[in-house]
Amino acid sequence: MNNLERLNKIILKEYPRLEEKDKFSFECHKGLSCFNKCCNDVNIFLTPYDIIRLKNRLGISSSEFLENYTILPVEANLKHPIVMLKMENDTLDCPLLSKDGCIVYEDRPWACRMYPIGMASPSDIISNEQDEFYFLLKEPICQGFTQNKEWTILKWKDDQGVNEYTELGEKFKEISCHPFFTNGKILEPVKLEMFYMVCYDLDKFREFVFRSSFLKRFEVEDEQVKKMKNDDVELLKFGFEWLKFSLFGEQTMKLRQEYMKPIQ
Ligand code: SF4
Ligand code: SF4
C-alpha cells in the first residue's frame, strides 16, 4: 500500500465524517504566530483547474509551470499521473509563499482554499464506498481553531471561493475516477501521456489540437474551435471529452468519415 492509500485509509476509518451543515470554529489571520507555517512541507495536489489558474496568474505556460513548480509523485498503484506543488529544496516552503503570505492568494489551489476542511471521495481511493464526506484537518501547529469565528462547511466553501472550482472538479472526477480505473484496468504509456497533457499541460494540448491533423480528423463545430483557441476552460472541457473517447472508448467525439482510424 502506498503513502496516499495509507493516509486515506486512516481518514476513512478514524476521522469523523461531516456534512455541509456541520459547524466548526476557525479563523486565519496574520496576527497568529503560526502565520505562513502551514505552507511548509505540505502535500498540495493540483487539479487541472488549479493549474490553469496558477499558470495564468504567474503569466507562464503550463509546461513552464509544471517544470518549475510541481513534482509527479511516483507511487505503486497510481492509476494515472497526479501533480503536486514542489516545495523549495532548502526550506521546504511552498514556492508561492512570501513573508506576507501566499503570492497567488486569489488563485490559490482548491486544497489551500478548503483547509482546514478535507474532502474524501472513497471511490477514488481504495474502497467501494461512493459517498463523499468532509472532515476537519486539525494540524497541531494551526491556531486557527482557537479563534471563535463560527462557520458551517457550506459557508466556508462560499467564503473561500471553492464553488468556482466545482464544475471542472466534477468533470475531472469523471475522468480520474472512471470505472475503467476503479475496475483495475491500466492505461498504456501513450495514453498516460494523453491524460497528462490534457489534464495538466493544457498549452501543449492546445498546440496539439491546432498544429496537428487533429481538427481534420474530428468533427468539431467552428464555434467550439473558436472558443478553445483562447479560452483555457473551454479547451479543458473539450480535452476531457477527448479523453473519454480516446482512453475509455466512449462515443463523445465524432471522427470525420475520411479518418475513421482512431487517432494515436
Ligand atoms: S496554521 Fe492555520 S491559522 Fe496559522 S496561518 Fe496556517 S491556516 Fe492560518
Ligand atoms: S499555494 Fe499559497 S496557500 Fe497554498 S501552500 Fe502555497 S503559499 Fe500556501
- Supply the pTM of this predicted model: 0.91
Percent of the chain with pLDDT over 70: 92
Question: Average pLDDT for residues 87-104, to the nearest whole number?
Answer: 96
Minimum CA distance residue for ligand 1 atom 8: 28
Q: How many CA atoms lie within 13 A of 252 on its CB side?
A: 15
Q: Indicate the Cα dihedral angle 217, 208, 189, 180, nearest 10°.
A: -60
Q: Which three cell numbers stand for residue 245?
A: 473517447
Residues 6+ apart with CB under 8 A from 264: 190
**Is 93 exposed, middle or buried (CB count within 10 Å of its CB: 0-12, 13-18, 19+)?**
middle
Q: Which three cell numbers stand for residue 201?
A: 499541460
Q: State in Å: Cα 236 to ligand 1 middle.
A: 32
Give the span between the Cα atoms of 76 and 78, in whole angstroms. 6
Q: State in Å: Cα 96 to ligand 2 middle.
A: 6
Total residues belonging to the chain: 264
Whether the Cβ atoms of residue 28 and residue 141 lie closer than 8 Å to each other:
no
pLDDT band at 182 (very low <50, low <70, confident <90, very high): confident
Condensed to tens digits (0 to 9), the pLDDT of residues 33-83 reads 999 999 999 999 999 999 999 999 999 999 999 999 999 987 767 889 999
Give the span between the Cα atoms of 175 and 45, in whole angstroms. 16
Give the span between the Cα atoms of 180 and 173, in whole angstroms. 12
Check whether 127 has a pLDDT greater than 50: no
Q: State in Å: Cα 199 to ligand 1 middle.
A: 30
Minimum CA distance residue for ligand 1 atom 6: 38
Q: How many CB atoms lie within 10 A of CB 202?
A: 24
User: Does residue 217's CB lie within 6 angstroms of at least one atom of ligand 1?
Assistant: no
Question: Average pLDDT for residues 173-197, to the nearest whole number?
Answer: 94
For 221, the 3-state DSSP assignment is coil
Most informative mutation of 36, 39, 162 for ligand 2 (most atoms within 8 A of CB): 39
Most informative mutation of 104, 105, 113 for ligand 2 (most atoms within 8 A of CB): 104
